[in-house]
Structure 1
């Protein structure tokens, strides 16, 4: 097939796609039904709210035009859209194969009765699959990058809200720690507590660990440095609520609380001793 014939065939194929949009939508819906995806798309209104068919008709046209750059661009944007709508990745894994089958079905209908040399067919197959793969890779990249950004922002927000220094009086405060503490969160706690102690002129801060189920060496080391930093700021530090499991771990690992730091069995005892 010479260049002129190839250009004419490409033009005819684009015209066929434009004149068979309803057929494309029906075929794609059938493929999604076979993949057990269609009902979910309808129930969640993903199809209606995201110009679903219009998008994949556009993909088909760019594919017919061999527009690799545009396929990557719209694939990336579509991946972000899917992430924003919380489309489960197991369904995404069915969307693009279903589109590929739809595209080949319509291409087969368009090519019926047209002579194809074996070399031309294999060239078309290789190019088409390569372009669909480029679209797919960009789709997943957009989806995953958006999800990673959401997770990072969520974690930063959670960590900011997980350092609740609660004032007990003008110069006394309590820091109740709850849940698992990893090294990332421990560092956040250290940074924010020191900042708040200095900013508000706190002279006594009580760290209550009764809500912390366990602690490893790295986390304990960060908290001990926090206690040292608190003392360097001229603030007295007290630790309450060390659970038996944490105490046993500290003994086994040879970890010792700084001598200047007082420890009490419960927060209730400390508050009572200060008349709070």
Structure 2
């Protein structure tokens, strides 16, 4: 895979990083524990002694703890719990480059992507962070205008990426120190931990890093990552088959191939679900095998029941419905792939193939339809219940005393909201036998004169119920709108300047008490 010189360089780099890592990890542990204790005692002191310096002290302490934590993460990367998965480095490069769009005005990016479908097994998030750090360094190395060139290609059994810039370059005597924690070529800032993370991540992926740099001309990082045995072994996996097997037995014998294929095809779905901590990867695989078992047995009622259970569970989560649809698509694709291999191995007739595929398709379609129906129904129910709460808050009729109430209208009043107010208000007035209601407009904003005409219509409805409506809190802007209306409309209004004055007047009026 690598020539002898590359292997020697790689072993040398690993030994250097390993030694540095052990020392760094030891130092970091020794520093982090007392820093954490200091932080705890400072928090206790802060409650007893006031000072304007606490904010500065806490900020500096947090920065120190963060630096130590970063040092630990790059010196002992194996402690990261992230699992290896199929990774397309081209996608990571594209997505990470988009984070630097704000630099487009000064830095031109040239992309030379070849063999874009090539994949490796790796820790996606670690690789994202490493590529981000490399690109960040490239942008920061360019003072003023410049160019960054990003390449991706495959050479035999190695995937190569390179990031080069036209920046200030790195002195030749400093190149051997790259990747060492706290070594940096930046004069104003920088801890050197970014490149340490780059080196530790790629070495964990059995990659080789080459750096070519010339002062005042630029720097080029080239990373050569081998396609791992795990990916190749999956691509070369052949299904287990025996002539005595029926289709169900064939799938059971090839469960490992089924699970691995589903993980690859539904990679995005697995990642989203895992990030939201809804269910684990193993849970999703168990669900898939449960569905497959019911499909083979043709247990229609059990399929419907499982689909309804899973539909409600997914509807209660924050997982988008499209994520589940992608998962269903991947599940169907993997099943069809194994069916094809069973057909080729078993040599069954075309009629048997069509009959088998129709039965499996019908069962899968039934599951998906039932899942979507329950999922949508549950989500709609949640939306309706929240809308009911919103409607209740939209018309907050507040009883005051002796069949007198207040309706404070707050916020923008559009036609839809006015319609809700009309329905709720008339119902409440009738139910509570309210004789007088003060409609306070001081916090309301009207979208048009037509909206106020609808409010006048509500007032007419209130009067028809034997209740008097009094409008308060009319602003100068609203007064101008009312002036443009006809005299007939104005005559229908009973107005008081403010709600406070109106309530005070009502309290003095014995006839209205």
Query: Which residue in the other structure is 1:175 paired with?
Result: 407
Question: CA separation in 2, counterparts of 1:258 and 1:60?
Answer: 71
How far, CA to CA, are the matches of 1:185 and 1:274 in structure 2?
A: 24
Structure 1 length as normaliser, TM-score? Answer: 0.74
Q: Shift of the alpha carbon at 1:12?
A: 3.2
What's the RMSD between the two structures over aligned residues?
3.7
Which residue, 33, 56, 59 being the options, matches 2:288?
56
Q: Is 1:67 aligned to 2:299, yes or no?
A: yes
Equivalent in the alignment of 1:4: none
Q: Pick from 350, 365, 374: which aligns with 1:133?
A: 365
Residue aligned with 1:46, SS: coil
- Residue in structure 2 matched with residue 28 of structure 1 by the alignment: 262
Contact kept, 8 Å, 2:471 with 2:494, in 1: the verdict is: yes
- Whole-angstrom CA distance in 2 between matches of 1:215 and 1:145: 36
Residue of structure 2 equivalent to 1:240: 472
| Residue 246 (structure 2) aligns with | 12
Could you say which residue in structure 1 is the equivalent of 2:446?
213
User: What residue in structure 1 maps to residue 36 of structure 2?
Assistant: none
**Distance in 1 separating the partners of 2:399 and 2:304:** 53
In structure 2, the CA distance between the partners of 1:66 and 1:37, relative to structure 1 (3 Å rule), is same
Distance 1:124 1:26 in 2: 23
Pairwise CA distance, 1:45: 1.7
The Cα of 1:248 is off from its aligned counterpart by: 4.3
- Report the alpha carbon displacement of residue 42 of structure 1 after superposing the two structures with TM: 0.8
Q: Which residue of the other structure, out of 427, 430, 450, is the alignment partner of 1:194? A: 430
- Following TM superposition, by how much is the alpha carbon of 1:43 offset from its aligned partner in structure 2, in angstroms? 0.5
Whole-angstrom distance in 2 between the partners of 1:122 and 1:114: 14
Q: What's 2:324 paired with?
A: 92
Larger Rg: 2
Q: Classify the secondary structure of the residue corresponding to 2:363.
A: helix
C-alpha distance in 1 between matches for 2:419 and 2:322 = 32
**Structure 1: distance between partners of 2:419 and 2:449:** 9
Q: 1:51 to 1:65 in 2, by over 3 A?
A: same
Whole-Å separation in 1 of the counterparts to 2:313 and 2:483: 48
Greater length-normalized contact order (CA 8 Å, ≥ 6 residues apart): 1
Q: Secondary structure at the match of 2:318?
A: coil
Aligned residues: 260
- After TM superposition, the structure 1 = structure 2 runs for residues 223-238 of structure 1, keeping only pairs within 5 Å, are 224=456, 226-228=458-460, 230-231=462-463, 235-238=467-470
Q: CA deviation at 1:79?
A: 1.8
In structure 2, the residue matched to 1:3 is none
Q: Deviations over 1:39-98 (max 9, x none)?
A: 111101223399432222111112222333433332233222211113212212201101
Kept in 2, the 8 Å contact 1:178–1:211? The answer is: yes
CA distance in 2, matches of 1:275, 1:42: 62
**More helix as a share of residues:** 1
Contact 2:446 2:452 in 1 (8 A): no
Bigger drift between 259-268 and 75-84 goes to 259-268
| Structure 2 equivalent of residue 80 of structure 1 | 312
CA–CA distance in structure 2, aligned partners of residues 135 and 59 of structure 1: 8
Distance 1:182 1:205, change over 3 A: closer
Q: Secondary structure, in 3 states, of the residue corresponding to 2:406?
A: strand
Gaps in structure 1 of 5+ consecutive residues: 1-8
Deviations 1:94-153 (A, max 9, x none): 011011012223334444521122222233223322322222111111111111111122
Measured in 1, the distance between the counterparts of 2:296 and 2:287 equals 14
Cα shift readout 1:222-257 (whole Å, capped 9, x = no counterpart): x556534544565432013457579749967x7964
Q: Which residue of 2 aligns with 1:5?
A: none
Richer in strand (by share): 2
Please identify, of 168-177 and 142-151, the stretch whose mean Cα deviation from structure 2 is larger: 168-177
Q: 1:129 to 1:238 in 2, by over 3 A?
A: same
